[in-house]
Amino acid sequence: MGICIAVYLTQMASEFLLGSDLPALLGMKINQAILRGEVWRFLTPMFLHGSIVHIAFNMYALYIFGPSLEARFGRGRFLLLFLISGFVGNVFSFIFSAAASLGSSTAIFGLLGAEMVFSYRNQGLLGSGARRVLINVLTVAGINLIIGLSPGIDNWGHIGGLVGGSLFTWLGGPLLVVDGIYPDLKVTDRRRSGTVFLAALGVGGLFLALAAFWMILQNGG
């Protein structure tokens, strides 16, 4: 959240001092720029925003969904989740949408996907509470995808973020088990750190390869 706010302040300063939003021009998802080799644009859009309303809405969503997921995933795995979701969202947008785009909603939809997969895979331990969360998050995601059909909203980026966050969590998210002997019981995550790394590498590598293949096709190769 702090990085997104700092970047937006830089955007505002650039607009005020230079008359143009230089960070957005250099970092937003622009398909032709990516085809020229500016591949950092698969990552940088998730830290950029187009207006104060845009960043306020996204930071509020991050504030609502982020802390609980970070507590369960741990800081490092949560950061991987955020980055992979945003990256996959921008790959989807690159392939399926010609419009320029920016915003952290790609990554935030990945958090929704992560919440759904976490609740589904751990419902045996978490019980009816997990099922309620799953239904609520599915409803929120569905409503926002319907809203995303409006002009000017990069719904392909949202769908991609949802896919990326869901895949990463399925392969590398927490799997909770009860360890110990009564009364010294504790809930632990049986997912090993090596598996988390491989999940990040696998999901990221898959969509990097897909983006590279699409770039070759678009460049006439």
CB 210 within 8 A of CB 95: yes
Torsion of CA 160, 161, 167, 170, to 10 degrees: -150
Q: State yes or no: is 20 an active-site residue.
A: no
Residue with tokens 């999901």: 203
Of 101, 104, 158, 166, the catalytic one is: 158
Residue 218 to residue 73: CA distance in whole angstroms: 38
Q: State yes or no: is 49 an active-site residue.
A: no
According to the model, what pLDDT value does residue 9 have?
96
The one-digit pLDDT tens for each residue of the chain (221 residues) are 889 999 999 999 999 999 999 999 999 999 999 999 999 999 999 999 999 999 999 999 999 999 999 999 999 999 999 999 999 999 999 999 999 999 999 999 999 999 999 999 999 888 888 888 889 999 999 998 898 888 889 999 999 999 999 999 999 999 998 887 666 777 888 899 999 999 999 999 999 999 999 999 998 86
What the block records as the tokens of 97 is 């949408």
Q: Which CATH number fits domain 51-218: 3.30.870, 1.20.1540, 1.25.40, 3.40.720?
A: 1.20.1540
Of 104, 105, 119, 166, the catalytic one is: 105
Q: What is the pTM of this model?
A: 0.93
Handedness of CA 25, 26, 30, 31 (dihedral sign): positive
